[in-house]
Amino acid sequence: MSTPSLAGRTALVTGGASGIGGAVTKLFVDRGARVVVVDLQEEAGEALARQLGDAMVFLRGDVSDRAVADTAVATAAERFGGLDVLVNNASVSRQRPFEEQTAEDWDLAMDTSLYATRNFMLAALPELRASGAGSVINFGSGAGLDGQPNQASYAATKEAIRGLSRVVANEWAQHDIRVNVVCPMALTAGVAQWAEARPEQYAQSAAKVPLGRFGDPDEDVAPIVAFLASDDSRYMTGQTLMADGGAIKLR
């Protein structure tokens, strides 16, 4: 069976230096894409760039900053001749009960998730239109769908991203740009930290996964993102795909 090819496609992956974003970057390059990565982690980003060679460009930057989105899109155009795929993966939040979450906690979640997603989509629009087969893949979370305790600001921003994605899927279909959402569940460094801070919640989440485990970023989640980036999913837009071992079933 052949796997979806990304040959000739250029992607921009936010938070693409490590975790699920790192897995997506590696798989995209493996399948023939060129990738611009924006991430705060300079060391991890440079190491990945050395590993992947000419097919990847690393930009150190904060996704909260609209100028970073503009620079990243310009880099894709200059280095690789355009942009076909945008993966809005980066996201940061703090977990505590709703009544204890501060204005700064809310700003952090909104700035790095919802507003970053909006800004990168707006910055990418001209190149995605020119692509003729643009694909935007935004990241939601089971935390929002499930109402996970201690995740108010994060859950709110992730559900807002799903709403935004459905609207823009309708608006940008005329430009042949598809917009879909992935809600992953994978054992990354970020999740490992959460598991350490909230072991009972982690154990509960893992126990609820029908396939019996937290996913692997490389083997379980990145291939679903690659499917959405490829022409194999060209008749899908406005959808949320759960990459979570069956933990949540959307209707």
Ligand X SMILES: NC(=O)c1ccc[n+]([C@@H]2O[C@H](COP(=O)([O-])OP(=O)(O)OC[C@H]3O[C@@H](n4cnc5c(N)ncnc54)[C@H](O)[C@@H]3O)[C@@H](O)[C@H]2O)c1
Site residues (CB under 6 A) for ligand X? 15, 17-21, 38-41, 62-64, 89-92, 112, 139, 141-142, 184-186, 188-191
How far apart are CB 1 and ligand X at their closest, in Å? 27
How far apart are CB 216 and ligand X at their closest, in Å? 11
Q: Can you tell me which residue has the tokens 């938070």?
A: 15
Residue closer to ligand X (CB basis): 20 or 128 = 20
Residue closer to ligand X (CB basis): 67 or 189 = 189
Residue closer to ligand X (CB basis): 131 or 165 = 165
How far apart are CB 139 and ligand X at their closest, in Å? 4
Residue closer to ligand X (CB basis): 123 or 131 = 123
The DSSP H or E segment spanning 170 is helix 152-172
Distance (Å, rounded) from C-alpha 156 to C-alpha 172?
24
Distance (Å, rounded) from C-alpha 236 to C-alpha 240?
10
How far apart are CB 152 and ligand X at their closest, in Å? 14
Distance (Å, rounded) from C-alpha 215 to C-alpha 223?
12
Residue closer to ligand X (CB basis): 133 or 209 = 209
The DSSP H or E segment spanning 142 is helix 142-146
How far apart are CB 8 and ligand X at their closest, in Å? 26
Q: Which of 115, 154, 202, 235 is catalytic?
A: 154
Residue 19's φ and ψ, nearest 5 degrees, are 60, -145
Q: Can you tell me which residue has the tokens 């880099």?
A: 75
Q: Is 202 labeled as catalytic in the residue annotation?
A: no
The DSSP H or E segment spanning 30 is helix 19-30
DSSP state of 20: H
Distance (Å, rounded) from C-alpha 87 to C-alpha 174?
20
Contact residues for 123 (Cβ-Cβ < 8 A; gap 6+): 66, 69, 70, 72, 73
Question: Which positions are annotated as active-site residues?
Answer: 154
